[in-house]
Amino acid sequence: MDVPPFDELRDLLQRDPEGFEILRTTLIDDCIRRSSGCNQRRLRGLQFVIDARRRVAGSPTKALLDIQAMMYDSLIALRQALLVEPRPSEPSAPTSARVLQFRRSRPSMD
């Protein structure tokens, strides 16, 4: 399902908030359903958390700020995970190797 243009979404929200919510839920479910099977459970869990934050926020602006903070925290955690040096307890890859030379065998004349 294609996402309608912003102006149409804004108009729908103003004249039919329930219809907007149904469309929003449908679009999100469609996006999750089209994702790979291994990601669907994780995405549904993330959407559950987002929906819960929206419910308890009290206002759309507060919900936006809470979800934005959640995304920022996730980005910082990802950045730290990518920049962390390998721990000493983890085996490191060898930096050198001994090269063995093999002689070609002569074909037998049987």
pLDDT number for residue 89: 65
d(CA 62, CA 97): 58
d(CA 105, CA 5): 71
pLDDT number for residue 33: 95
d(CA 49, CA 32): 15
Read off the pLDDT of residues 48-106 as tens digits, 9 standing for 90 and up. 999 999 999 999 999 999 999 999 999 999 999 999 866 666 666 777 888 888 888 77
| Angle of CA points 77, 83, 87, to nearest 5° | 100
d(CA 47, CA 45): 5
DSSP SS3 for 16: coil
pLDDT number for residue 88: 63
CA distances to 12, 22, 23, 102 from 26, in Å: 14, 6, 5, 64
d(CA 21, CA 60): 13
Greater model confidence, 110 or 77: 77
DSSP SS3 for 73: helix
